[in-house]
Amino acid sequence: MQKSVFLAAVAGVGMTAGVASAATLDDVQARGTLNCGVNTGLVGFAAPNAEGEWEGFDVAVCKAVAAAVLGDPSAVEYVSLTGKTRFTALASGEIDMLSRNTTQTFTRDVDLKFEFTGINYYDGQGFMVPAELGVSSATELDGATICIQTGTTTELNLADYFRSNNMDYEPVPIETNAEAQQQYLAGACDVYTTDGSGLAATRAAFENPSEHVILPEVISKEPLGPVVRHGDNEWGDIVRWTLYALIAAEEYGVTSANVDELAEGTDSPEINRLLGTEGNFGEVMGLSSDWAVNAIKAGGNYGEIFARHIGEDTPVGLSRGLNAQWTEGGLMYAPPFR
Amino acid sequence: MTSVTEPPRESFRLSMLLNDKRYRFYTFQFVALLLLIVFMAYLGWNLVRNLAILGQDISFEFLGTPAGYDINQSLIPYENQDPHLRASFVGVLNTLLVAFLGCVTATIFGVLAGVLRLSKNWLVAKLMAVYVEIFRNVPVLIWILIIFFVMTAALPPPSAFRGDDPSSTMLFDAIALTNRGVYVPKPIWGAGSGALAAVFLASIAGAIYYRRYATRLLYATGRLLPMVWPTLAILILPTLAAYALLGGPVTLEYPELRGFNFQDGIQIRGSLIALWFALAIYTGAFIAENVRAGILSVSHGQTEAAAALGLRPRRVMSLVVLPQALRVVIPPVISQYLNLTKNSSLAIAVGYMDVTGTLGGITLNQTGRAIESVLLLMLFYLLISLSISAVMNLYNNAVKLKER
């Protein structure tokens, strides 16, 4: 008797302890919300606004995926994660996708068993210094004290850069962007280093942004993009092609303003396939046929999202640069929808 | 008619394991143990199976690969191409450093506050009570952050020391207090410093010998030799003389502002100071209570008896009360030392690179070997805690009440 009770208990535990990685799409649809991992607070990319709602460039990707999968861009549960906790949260199934300016690297892709589903921002690591220091190049930083966000690729790039240039530095490891900002502004470090976009976003939050300069050197390649768990290819496809749909929409001139009109049918077969009036791309992925329409309506196409959150007219003030469409000399290139 | 009948000798039967009170508890313990083993084995199996589903394994090979990151405070030579194992070891030494400094300082704070809290001086006693209650009842993480942020905000950056008319100057031209830490002069051991050290060690031995001799003389003849001044003289004078004779073998290297930072000298980083000081005052408050309890446990009769013998209050404390109090004080203080050592893992809050910051932080992140790193961390803290316990238990055995 006692034995059978025990076995039943073990069986119960075994069922609940099963890995939740199998079918993320089913889990998300059953739950009705998307658990999306975002930054703990980086203006322009992911930060709560005055109403306490998350918004930003990375948050827009979460919203687009939620709109494509659930038809509702607001059906997102945001989980704010530090550089250290993000991968554990994703691997353990606490979040369905990670959209937290995360650099695609070999180790993360292959060894840590994650899947990078495209790139939504081509970035590179840079340095920010107070203008009064009079430093104009990163090669003059020998002996400087440098604040780094720990648990990122930046601390490895930094070590490599200073080693290859035969310079010394003192690293000050910091857990979050907010703390790093506080240390940097108090003068506890001379330099703050992170991705160029992060520097611009951090500087935008300063009282006097003009008193700080971002040095011209870009010491690394930092392709940032959303991440999902390895092994659930269907879910990976959904996140990847939602991002591509946003990029393709900009290329084809589909915006949040005209998407409804275009979804009634156009002369362009490519747009028709994207918006679901031709073919059955939505059903193939296990979504509704208007998945891309919903994704684009959530926050606009890639260009609209960029301009609203981090573009030149925002306090962050980033130019498109590498992130322009391939037709305009950038690297944003969505594979064909066919 | 009375007859004493022997109770029938029952032979052991298997059913007695359940029915007989004498054996039943063995059955229960055995079943409980079995369940525990099965449960643990199930957890381990579950872990390995889930890792296998994720395509991962448990491997410690990452410890041999280059770490690739720099560590600001390192007690042993370290550069970013050294393996993760060495980076972890740097972290271990940093943990031990802050734990050692913290334990020593916490003991000093604790004993002082504990004794003073029992002072007859109302103001002193109340001040100490306030100290104990405030520091004991606010989480140590908050204290670490408060001290760190106050240091960062209140102290000037090194750039304030620059220029012809700097807004900050160094203390005695030797110590620079900055928001990156405190820079102090560093002794440079020149030729002949070995001889100087030998003279100093010899004077320590001499001082100990003198004190023993004075004690023996006191017991034998009742004659009291002065203690304090001769001890100090024996300690200092020969070393000073040797220093002069050898032509000043030890010189000081003063910190100097060059480039972005102060160079030369020894830098005591703000993160170390914040962590050390916060752990010391926090744990000190607990130790103060242990000390107070220990002193109160010595019966008042002992104090009165000592006073009746003509001992002064300070001697009553140091010769009669404290030695007896120690046997009550030591065991809880051991657990405070363990707490302090384990609390030092909060170091990452201020960017102090202890073993949780290197092995459990950057290494874990860069390699993604979370389970292995955490297992190693647990092993390390377990070993350290058990070692502290072992050493302190030896001491406890030395001071505990000897019953003859």
- Computed from CA positions of residues B311, B314, B316, B318, in that sequence, does the dihedral angle turn out positive or negative? negative
pLDDT digits (tens, 9 = 90+) for A268-309: 999 999 998 888 899 999 999 999 999 999 999 999 999 999
Terminal alpha carbon distance of chain A: 61
DSSP codes joined into one string, B195-240: HHHHHHHHHHHHHHHHHHHHHHHHHHH------HHHHHHHHHHHHH
How do the domains of chain B map onto residue ranges? 15-54, 84-181+269-399, 186-253
Looking up tokens 């238990």, which residue turns up?
A: B393
CB contact under 8 A, A170 and B72: yes
Q: Which two tokens stand for residue A32?
A: 């009705």
pLDDT of residue B105: 96
CB count, 10 Å around CB of A268?
Answer: 15
Half-sphere exposure of B182 (CA within 13 A, CB side): 11
Nearest chain A residue to B370 by CA distance is A88
CB count, 10 Å around CB of A205?
Answer: 17
pLDDT digits (tens, 9 = 90+) for A158-202: 999 999 999 888 888 887 788 888 888 888 888 999 888 888 888
B84-181+269-399 domain in CATH 3.20.20.70? no
CB contact under 8 A, B55 and A230: yes
Mean pLDDT score of chain A? 87
> Please, what are the averages of pLDDT over each run of 10 residues along chain B (404 residues)?
63 78 84 94 88 77 88 87 91 94 95 90 93 92 91 83 72 79 82 81 89 87 80 83 78 78 82 93 95 91 91 86 86 90 90 89 83 90 90 83 69
pLDDT digits (tens, 9 = 90+) for A191-214: 999 888 888 888 888 888 888 998
CA dist list (Å): B137 to A200, B283, B333, B400: 41, 11, 18, 31
CB within 8 Å of chain B, chain A residues 219-248: 229-231
DSSP codes joined into one string, B167-200: S---BTTTBEEETTEEEE-EEEE-TTHHHHHHHH
Half-sphere exposure of A106 (CA within 13 A, CB side): 0
CB count, 10 Å around CB of B379?
Answer: 10
CB contact under 8 A, B365 and A83: yes
Put simply, whether A183 touches B (Cβ < 8 Å) is: yes
Q: Are B340 and B106 in contact (CB under 8 A)?
A: yes
Rounded Cα distance, A120 and A244, in Å: 9
| Three-class SS state of B4 | coil
pLDDT of residue B10: 66
**Residue from A262, A289, A264 nearest A276 by CA:** A289
Task: Nearest by CB to B80, from A113, A144, A163: name it.
Answer: A163
CB within 8 Å of chain B, chain A residues 28-47: none
- List residues bridging with B83 in a β-sheet: B66
pLDDT interval class at A22 (50, 70, 90): low
pLDDT of residue B4: 63
CB neighbour class for A330 (10 Å; exposed up to 12, middle 13-18, buried from 19): middle
Whether A321 shows a pLDDT value over 50: the answer reads yes
A interface test, pick of B50, B53, B70, B363 with most A CB neighbours within 10 Å: B70
pLDDT of residue B379: 94
Nearest chain B residue to A232 by CA distance is B54
Strand spans (E) along A57-211: 76-81, 97-98, 114-116, 121-123, 125-130, 144-149, 169-174, 191-195
Rounded Cα distance, B83 and B85, in Å: 5
CB contact under 8 A, B366 and A21: no
Question: In B, which residues are within 8 Å of A186 by CB distance?
Answer: 152-153, 157, 179
**pTM of the predicted protein model:** 0.78
Q: A144-149 and A191-195: which strand pairing?
A: parallel
CB contact under 8 A, B179 and A187: yes
What kind and span of H or E run contains B309?
Answer: none
Question: In B, which residues are within 8 Å of A88 by CB distance?
Answer: 370
CB within 8 Å of chain A, chain B residues 161-190: 179-180
| Three-class SS state of B85 | helix
CB contact under 8 A, A88 and B370: yes
| Three-class SS state of B175 | strand
Whether A19 shows a pLDDT value over 50: the answer reads no
What is the nearest CA distance from B274 to chain A, expressed in angstroms?
A: 14
CA dist list (Å): B288 to B332, B333, B388: 11, 10, 20
CB contact under 8 A, B54 and A84: no
pLDDT of residue B263: 77
What is the nearest CA distance from A268 to chain B, expressed in angstroms?
A: 42
pLDDT digits (tens, 9 = 90+) for B15-46: 777 778 778 888 888 999 999 999 999 998 98
Rounded Cα distance, B45 and B50, in Å: 8
pLDDT of residue A34: 95
Question: In A, which residues are within 8 Å of B55 by CB distance?
Answer: 113, 230-231
pLDDT interval class at A57 (50, 70, 90): very high
Q: How far is CA A294 from the centre of its chain?
A: 20
What is the nearest CA distance from B389 to chain A, expressed in angstroms?
A: 32
Q: Are A309 and A315 in contact (CB under 8 A)?
A: no
pLDDT digits (tens, 9 = 90+) for A229-258: 988 899 999 999 999 999 999 999 999 999
Question: In B, which residues are within 8 Å of A143 by CB distance?
Answer: 258-261, 263
Question: In B, which residues are within 8 Å of A87 by CB distance?
Answer: 365, 368
| Three-class SS state of B159 | helix
Q: Which two tokens stand for residue A257?
A: 């303003």
CB contact under 8 A, B80 and A17: no
Task: Nearest by CB to B180, from A91, A145, A151: name it.
Answer: A145
Q: A191-195 and A125-130: which strand pairing?
A: antiparallel
Put simply, whether B33 touches A (Cβ < 8 Å) is: no
- List residues bridging with B251 in a β-sheet: B188
What is the nearest CA distance from A128 to chain B, expressed in angstroms?
A: 15
CB contact under 8 A, A171 and B370: no
Percent share of chain A, pLDDT over 90: 45
A-to-B residue pairs, Cβ atoms closer than 8 angstroms? 118
Rounded Cα distance, B190 and B197, in Å: 12
CB contact under 8 A, B270 and A188: yes
pLDDT of residue B61: 87
What is the nearest CA distance from A332 to chain B, expressed in angstroms?
A: 28
Query: Domains of chain A by range and CATH?
Result: 25-120+225-328 (3.40.190.10), 124-221 (3.40.190.10)
Q: A34-39 and A97-98: which strand pairing?
A: parallel
Rounded Cα distance, A136 and A216, in Å: 8
What is the nearest CA distance from B72 to chain A, expressed in angstroms?
A: 6
